[in-house]
Amino acid sequence: MVDSEGKRGDVDGDAGASASRAAAEPTAAEPTAAAVPPTNAAGSLDESTLFETPLVELDLGIEPTVYAKAEWFNFYTTGTPGTVKSRIGYAMIDAAERRGDLGPDQPIIEPSSGNTGAAVARVGTARGYDVTIASPEDAGAGKREVIREAGAELTTVPAAAPYDAIIEAVERAAAENDYYWPNQYANPDNPGIHEATTGAEIREQAPELTHYVTGAGTGGTITGVARALDDEVTIVGYEPASDPSEIEGTRYLRTGNHPYQDVYEQFRVDEKRYLTTDTAMKAARWLRLQYADREIPIRATGQWDRDQVRAGLRVDDEFVVGPSTGANVALVYELAHEGFLDGDDVVVTTLCDRGDRYSEGLWSDLF
């Protein structure tokens, strides 16, 4: 299928998932400047449509059995489909309310280049908060649109600014203006919700799994899922091979001024690889062609019915995914061809978000 750069360091049942709800480089401009006002008022958000996402089977032309969690079914029926980050957007705000960390009229601010910002915006505005998302000015148009449609304010900073400088600017703004800052990079509710829901759903939907494969951004998903799975399950992660990277949702953390985040428990990762943007993009495009005229087998529908899942897997009859999903698929393929995986193995990975969020770049020829 594809090559990547790295180094070593009829399934159509209706099984459901039931998981508990847990709870001198340029510097960044202060995120009070260059604000883009919301274009639409916040609408209602049905939080019951979060969690219990479907599990589908992918034919990658390899011997192991491969399943994938279709995470855009979070909030699927309430406006724009969600992403894997919808879980933490909900968890961080809900837990802050319950602890009393977030006051009734307190504004919320969060730095994000994409899906977490959209999730915090959707949940926060639906619960009546003023939300500001600080984002690099070159963040994807589809993700910026979701933030504005939610009714949040989008504040942009120069694309050349180091991302860690954006985080620092948000930290200062939160301290000086009494914002509540969820802080996905250090908030234990980030891996906590993946342990309580994502990992629990995978364990129920595919109890025979032997490997879990996904990328690391904050590290919350891979950490939380690893906690929830049996010790016998091998956890394989990846990070971008270079900086900058267009594998959105992941961060280059290997060298330089890119510290690992507090929520990323690296000791839980049994095998780590480094993937290029080109590898991720090629795999995403290959996956679209692989299912151009084939049904995608559904292992478990989650909280949805079979017709909803079949319809929601595609956009305009196309099976299109984002770059991080492409990287997940490429890594599984690589591991199989190296012999790291064999025909007895059962792998679960993640369909992080749907491709229509990438109308610039990856899928500019389609949307």
| C-alpha distances in Å from residue 168, one per residue of 12, 13, 101, 183, 295 | 47, 48, 20, 11, 46
Taking each helix axis as running N to C, give the angle between helix 86-99 and helix 115-126, from 0 to 180 degrees, rounded to the nearest 10.
50
* φ, ψ dihedrals at 239, nearest 5°: -130, 160
Partners of 145 in the beta sheet?
A: none
Task: Report whether 342 contacts 11 (CB < 8 A).
Answer: no
Tokens found for residue 207: 């109890």
282 belongs to the catalytic site = no
Q: Tell which residue, 60, 62, 45, has the closest CA to residue 124.
A: 45
Chain-centre distance for alpha carbon 310: 21
Q: Please report where in the chains the tokens 């594998």 appear, as a residue.
A: 247
Helix or strand holding residue 298 (H, E): strand 298-300
Task: Exactly one of 85, 143, 272, 282 is catalytic; name it.
Answer: 85
Helix or strand holding residue 223 (H, E): helix 220-228
CA distance 171 to 181: 8
Q: Which active-site residues does the annotation give?
A: 85
